[in-house]
Amino acid sequence: MRAQAGSTLSHRRPGSARAGNGRHPVAEARRIPEATVARLPLYYRALLETSDQQVNTVSSERLAELAGVNAAKVRKDLSYLGSYGTRGVGYDVEFLLHQISRELGLTHDWPVVIVGVGNLGHALANYRGFGARGFRIVALVDADPAKIGQRVGELKVEALDDLPGIVADREIAIGIVATPAAASQEVADHLVDAGVTSILNFAPAVVTVPAGVSLRKVDLATELQILSFYQQRRGPGVAAGNGRKARGAPTGRARVR
């Protein structure tokens, strides 16, 4: 049975079970809603900025402002981590960073494979922000024979047929799909068959995976369309693009009865 996403994620702590680099959290009974999990990286980034400014404590109101959410939501989200702060003082920045990094698995070193070495794949492979967060790009894979053997930074592009061995040898648990839409499902299937249990899909297509495999989707075109929705509602005087006609729009000709 295949699924696209669940509604909750298990609360986990570092343990001895193996995954990725030989370390994997052990599940607890407490569960964290997926919406909360999606906001944890926002809090983490805000806390890093706060820590860099040598600030030791932060209020829920300030953290909410930095993360772009409301304070009540911050307090509710952090309560799932067992962190309630101190009334009149706020949250200890370093301790909260530790809690969130633990929940997000950022205390681990996660090897990652990118499948699809086109323009997007190149950009992702050269993005240094992944390494700074503990995600090492250890393999680049493509099905195009013309790309096999090419170098992108310090890595050499390898064949898709070799994916099972690559995943096993480098203990890869996370895969990124950076292919055209038409190839995305097949690539996801290859990743799952090779043993990858977490997939980030950049292809503009619906991809399904079996139960037990985590899937996240990044669709830049969809995000732009959402911005377009709000942009056109800003009223007269706002630039309206080039007047491009929408698909399915009326032609303007009167219907004859």
Sign of CA dihedral 9, 42, 218, 146: negative
- Residue 166 sits at the vertex; the CA angle it makes with 164 and 167, to the nearest 5 degrees, is 65
pTM over 0.95: no
The reply to whether 74 falls in a domain is yes
The reply to whether 26 falls in a domain is yes
List per-residue pLDDT tens for the chain, 257 residues long: 454 443 333 333 333 333 444 434 433 446 899 999 999 999 999 999 999 999 999 999 999 999 999 999 999 999 999 887 888 889 999 999 999 999 998 888 899 999 999 999 999 999 988 988 889 999 999 999 999 999 999 999 999 999 999 999 999 999 999 999 999 999 999 999 999 999 999 999 999 999 999 999 999 889 999 999 999 988 665 555 666 666 665 565 555 55
Identify whether residues 118 and 99 lie together within a single domain.
Answer: no
Domain boundary among 66, 82, 103: 103
Identify whether residues 122 and 214 lie together within a single domain.
Answer: yes
The reply to whether 233 falls in a domain is no
**132-164: b (≥16 Cβ within 10 Å) or e:** eeebbbbbbbbbeeebbeeebeeeebbebeebe
Domain residues for the domain of 177 are 110-221
Selection from 62, 63, 68 nearest residue 81 by Cα? 63
pLDDT, residue 108, reads 85
Selection from 38, 196, 207 nearest residue 112 by Cα? 196
The reply to whether 83 falls in a domain is yes
Identify whether residues 146 and 198 lie together within a single domain.
Answer: yes
Q: Which two tokens stand for residue 213?
A: 């495999």
Identify whether residues 160 and 209 lie together within a single domain.
Answer: yes
CATH code for the domain in which residue 136 is found: 3.40.50.720
Identify whether residues 114 and 209 lie together within a single domain.
Answer: yes
The reply to whether 248 falls in a domain is no
Identify whether residues 130 and 172 lie together within a single domain.
Answer: yes
Identify whether residues 132 and 85 lie together within a single domain.
Answer: no
Distance between CA atoms of 108 and 95, rounded to whole angstroms? 17
Distance between CA atoms of 208 and 248, rounded to whole angstroms? 29
CATH code for the domain in which residue 17 is found: 1.10.10.10
Identify whether residues 151 and 213 lie together within a single domain.
Answer: yes
Identify whether residues 131 and 211 lie together within a single domain.
Answer: yes
Domain count, the chain: 2
Identify whether residues 157 and 200 lie together within a single domain.
Answer: yes
Identify whether residues 150 and 86 lie together within a single domain.
Answer: no
pLDDT, residue 133, reads 84
- Residue 44 sits at the vertex; the CA angle it makes with 60 and 108, to the nearest 5 degrees, is 145
